[in-house]
Structure 1
C-alpha cells in the first residue's frame, strides 16, 4: 500500500462514516532515522491521548520522543520505556481508589497490552488523509453508531467477531495502539479517566484502533456497505 492510497483511505473513511474528525495515523519507529523529512518534533511534553485528540481535531503532524510523552504509563505501553514498578503492579491505581484490593489492581495491570520496553524510539502522529508515512495503527474516534458501522465493515469479508478488550485504564495508548500493533487485531475501547479528563473526546464518543493490515479491506467494505 503506497502513501497516495493511504491518504485516499483516510479521506474515504472520513466521508463514508461521516466522521467529524480525522482518523489518526500512528507509527512506532525503532530509529529516529525512520522519521520522514518535514515532520517536526512536538514542541512541549503532552499526553498520548491529547496528541491523538489534537491531531484528529486540528490536522497537525509531529513526532515525539520518550521525554515528550507526558504520561509515563502511555510511553511505557507503547514501548518507549520501562513501566514504573508501582504502576506495573497496580499500586498507583489502588491508591487512587480505582480498585477495592491491590490484587485486583495488579491483575488488571498485568493484562494491559504492552509493546516491549525500549523497542520504540519515537512515535509519529498525523491525520491519515495527509500521511507522509505508512502507519502501524490508525485510531478512529466517533459515536457508538459509527463504531458499529466500522465493526460491520471489518467483518464484511471474513466474518467473525470484533475484539473489545479494555479496562477503562490506559485506553488510547494500550487499547488503541499497543494492542492492535502487537496482535494485528482491531480493538474497540471506551476511553479511560485520563483520556476523558485531558482531551475533548465527548461523552458520546469511543475509539477503535485498527492495524495497517486491515485498513485496505476496511475501506473497500465501507464503500460497499455505507458509501451509497
Structure 2
C-alpha cells in the first residue's frame, strides 16, 4: 500500500458505510525514526483523545510529542514515557472512587495494553482519506450499527471474532492505539470518563480500531456487503 491507496480506502470506507466523521490515521514514530517533513506540529497541549476527535471532526493533521500530550497517562501507554507510579499502581483511579480497593484498581491497570516506555518519540494524526504518512492504526468513532458493519466486514473473508476487551479506562489511547499496535488485531472499545468529558464523542458513539494491514480487505468486504444500502 502507498499513500494514494490508503487515501482511496479512507474515502471508500466513509462513503460505503456513510460514516459522518473521518476515520483517523495514527502512526507512532519510533525513537530512532525521524518525524516526516511537511507534517505540522500540533501547537497546543491537549489530550490524545481530543487530538483524535479534532482530526475526525475538523480534518486537521499534525504530530504531537510527549510535551504536547496533556494526559500523561495516555502518552505513557503509547510509549512516549514511563507511566507514573500512582497511575500504574491504580492509586489514581482508586482515589477517584472508581474501584472498591487499591488491589482491584491495580488488577485493572496491570492489564492495560502499553507500548514499551520511551520507545516512541511522537504520534502522527491525520484523516485517513488525507493522510500523507503510513499509519499503524485506524480509529473509527461512530455509531454501534456501523461498528457492527465494520466487524462483519472484518470477518467476511476468514471468519473469527472481534476483540472487545475494555475497562472504561484509557480507551482511545490504550484500547484504541496500543492494543492493535501491539497485537495486530482489531478492537472495539466504549470510551472512558476522560474521553467522554473532554471531547465531542457522543453518548451514542463508540470506537473501533483496526491495524492498517487489515484496511484493504476491510474496505473490499464492506463494499461487497453494504455498498448499495448502508445507512
TM-score by length of 2: 0.97
Residue 96 of structure 1 is matched in structure 2 by 96
State the shift of 1:32 in Å: 7.7
Provide the rounded CA distance (Å) in 2 between the counterparts of 1:213 and 1:92: 35
Helix, strand or coil at the partner of 2:27 = strand
Counting matched residue pairs gives 228
Residue 80 of structure 1 is matched in structure 2 by 80
Residue 135 of structure 1 is matched in structure 2 by 135
State the shift of 1:8 in Å: 0.3
Q: Is 1:182–2:185 an aligned residue pair?
A: no
Unaligned runs of 5+ in 2: none
Provide the rounded CA distance (Å) in 1 between the counterparts of 2:17 and 2:8: 14
Provide the rounded CA distance (Å) in 2 between the counterparts of 1:33 and 1:135: 14
C-alpha offsets along residues 111-167 of structure 1, whole Å, 9 cap, x if unaligned? 000000000000000000000011000000100000000000000000010000100
Task: List aligned pairs for 1:40-55, cutoff 5 A.
Answer: 40-55=40-55
Residue 124 of structure 1 is matched in structure 2 by 124
State the shift of 1:35 in Å: 2.3
Residue 202 of structure 2 is matched in structure 1 by 202
Helix, strand or coil at the partner of 1:138 = strand
Residue 214 of structure 2 is matched in structure 1 by 214
Aligned in 2, Cα 1:34/1:223: closer, same or farther, shift over 3 Å? farther
Unaligned runs of 5+ in 1: none
Contact conserved, 2:22 with 2:55, CA < 8 A, in 1?
yes
RMSD after superposition: 0.9
Provide the rounded CA distance (Å) in 2 between the counterparts of 1:197 and 1:32: 34
Helix, strand or coil at the partner of 1:124 = strand
Provide the rounded CA distance (Å) in 2 between the counterparts of 1:150 and 1:189: 13
TM-score by length of 1: 0.98
